[in-house]
Amino acid sequence: MTVKILKSLFVRATICVAISALSCAAVLAQDEVQTFQPDQIAAGAKLYADNCSVCHGQKMVDAGGGFFDLRTFPPKQRPRFINSVSNGKNSMPPWKSVLSQEQIGNLFAYVVAGEKK
Ligand code: HEC
């Protein structure tokens, strides 16, 4: 009897530890998401309106052309963003001769954080 109770306590304690480890991992993962300066996002918003909205839609809302929906771009894949935008991807032209790396970084800030409510 006592052994049984102890056992179930042990199981519960183990489950608790496992769950808090999970929520801890979730909190840590959130911390990895970068924070951006408001002026970076503002600069990115202007660059976006001038260069990207023709295809990707105003404020990233799909204009109906079936282009990549930038609101779904994974925030943790900054290198992919920089690479695709710099070098182009399929029917998207490369931007590295038009925009500086800093400007592309500002665009990333806008895409990840600019239209979040
Ligand atoms: C001429 C139309 C056009 C313009 C202008 C354009 N894009 Fe794209 N973009 C596309 C197309 C088409 C795709 C989908 C490419 C694919 O996966 O085949 C795409 C995909 C992307 C992707 C996803 C790439 C990936 O890794 O999957 C990003 C990020 C992106 N565009 C950002 C931008 C930014 C930032 C600008 C402005 C500097 C821009 N695009 C301007 C057409 C355009």
- Note the pLDDT tens digit of each residue in 23-71: 545 544 444 557 899 999 999 999 999 999 999 999 999 777 789 999 9
Determine the structural domain holding residue 43 and report its residue range: 38-114
Residue 108 and residue 54 in one domain: yes
Residue 17 and residue 50 in one domain: no
Q: Which ligand 1 atom is nearest residue 107's CA?
A: 35
Give the DSSP letter string of 8-53: HHHHHHHHHHHHHHHHHHHHHHHHHS----HHHHHHHHHHHHHHTH
Residues with CB under 6 A from ligand 1: 51-52, 54-56, 67-68, 70, 73, 80-81, 84-85, 89-93, 95, 107
Q: For the whole prediction, is pTM greater than 0.85?
A: no
Q: Which ligand 1 atom is nearest residue 99's CA?
A: 38
Residue 70 and residue 102 in one domain: yes
pLDDT in tens, 62-104: 777 789 999 999 999 999 999 999 999 999 999 999 999 999 9
Per-residue confidence (pLDDT) for residue 62, from 0 to 100: 79
Residue 24 and residue 81 in one domain: no
> Number of folded domains in the chain?
2
Higher pLDDT, 10 or 98: 98
Rounded CA separation 41/62 (Å): 20
Nearest CA to ligand 1 atom 42: 92
Centre of ligand 1 from the C-alpha of residue 38, in Å: 23
Per-residue confidence (pLDDT) for residue 65, from 0 to 100: 79
